[in-house]
Amino acid sequence: MRGGQVYFLHNDVKSIQRVSNELAELVPEARIRIAHGQMRERQLEQVMSDFYHQRFNVLVCTTIIENGIDVPSANTILIERADKFGLAQLHQLRGRVGRSHHQAYAYLMTPQDKKLTADATKRLEVISAADHLGSGFTLATNDLEIRGAGELLGEEQSGHIQAIGFTLYLEMLDRAVNAIRNGAIPDLDAALHQGVEVNMHIPALIPDDYLPDVNMRLTLYKRLSNCQTKEQLHELQVEMIDRFGLLPEQLKALFQLAELRQLGEQLGLKKIEAGPNGGRVQFTKNTVVEPMTIVTMVQTHPNIFRLQNNDQLSFTMPMDSPEERFVQVNEILQQLLSATAA
């Protein structure tokens, strides 16, 4: 109904035809085809070509699609028996959708009547939590911890390092040392904060045609996520223009999202979201925004602002273009910030 296409991953060639027949009975209006590694080369090539050109909309397949061609219109993947796959493989399969500006969804299905192993449960928890920019680094670290990486400290990893992970332990240690040096009390809970979630419903990324080197793109994503001030973002932006040329629109949007994320961190926000008709900001328990500031905004502009669930400020206004969304959201955050500073 969203005009997209669906991967249904069933990794068993023997029963894949049965699954395809069952899906055809459940969803008669769907146009379904099958793809797996035991098909003839020409036949498989024809199926994938037809799927790419949207001649059918549901592909029942095995993990053969793991390193397949990009299908921009594929926006949904259902992975059957997700507990049987490794963490890196799930991440790779999930990446088969969302290759364009369309919102994509990945559903990981597990049997209800069978108890999952401890490692399978960990893998599924990690993959479901890793849904933000730069999550590949988190996945790699967790995959290393789940499968084991030898002895890092002592005969066995134990205590808090085993409980929270080596990378997070080092981050918390670094924050604690910096806090003590500045004469403050370390806030260990801050290390568990995943940052402000910002969603403007627009493409925001480093395009591969702008920077083909995958490793370099990952490095720049990491540097971008580590920027703490607007000046650092500006310096990185100038460096990228100097090295790779003028920024494309998707990359400009990525920098603008990073600026909004920094403002959200200052205000103690949990989520910032905006679309063509409006959006909302969600506050954390430790927000620096005074409740009266929000109440005043709602009372002054009741047709625009509205308080929801005691922790969300929603706003309604036309914002069709991405630039309008950034301008309007930035003005709202600046208004909250100026009231806090005052």
Q: What is the CATH number of the domain that holds 208?
A: 3.90.1150.50
DSSP-derived secondary structure for 64-92: GGGG----TTEEEEEETTGGGS-HHHHHH
pLDDT band at 1 (very low <50, low <70, confident <90, very high): confident
State which residues form the domain around 107: 5-113
Question: Number of structural domains, the chain?
Answer: 3
Nearest to 283 by CA among 244, 310, 315: 310
Q: Judge whether 123 lies within some domain.
A: no
CB 220 within 8 A of CB 244: no
The confidence score (pLDDT) of residue 332 equals: 92
Q: Give 312-323 as a DSSP string.
A: EEEEE----SHH
Are residues 323 and 208 located together in one domain of the fold? yes
Q: Model pTM greater than 0.85?
A: no
pLDDT of 276 higher than 70? yes
Q: Does residue 260 contact residue 233 with C-beta atoms inside 8 Å?
A: no
Q: In this predicted structure, what is the pLDDT of residue 129?
A: 72
What's the rounded Cα separation, in Å, for the pair 301 and 307? 12
Whether 139 is in a domain gets the answer no
Residues 168 and 258 in one domain: no
342, 272 in Cβ contact below 8 A?
Answer: no
What are the CA-CA distances from residue 129 to residues 8, 43, 234, 276 (Å)?
22, 38, 30, 27
Residue 146 clears pLDDT 80, i.e. is over it: no
Domain closes at, from 46, 80, 113: 113
Verify that 107 and 172 share a domain, yes or no. no
Check whether residue 306 and residue 278 sit in a common domain: yes
The confidence score (pLDDT) of residue 66 equals: 83
- Summarised one tens digit per residue, pLDDT across range 216-250 is 999 999 899 888 899 999 999 999 999 999 999 99
Residue 132 lies in a domain: no
- Judge whether 239 lies within some domain: yes
- Which helix (H) or strand (E) element contains residue 281? strand 278-283
Residue 81 structure tokens: 């028996």
Is the same domain home to 71 and 202? no
Same domain for 169 and 207?
no
Residues 201 and 74 in one domain: no
pLDDT tens digits, residue range 148-202?
A: 555 555 555 555 566 666 777 777 788 788 888 888 777 766 655 567 889 999 9
Average pLDDT across the chain, whole number: 85
Q: Would the pLDDT of 134 be above 60?
A: no
Distance in angstroms (rounded) separating the CA atoms of residues 29 and 254:
38
Residues 175 and 46 in one domain: no
CA distance 43 to 37: 11
Q: Are residues 13 and 78 in the same domain?
A: yes
- 28-37, 81-90, 252-261, 279-288: range with lowest mean pLDDT: 81-90
Residue 143 lies in a domain: no
Over 80: is that where the pLDDT of 147 sits? no
178 and 221 inside one domain: no
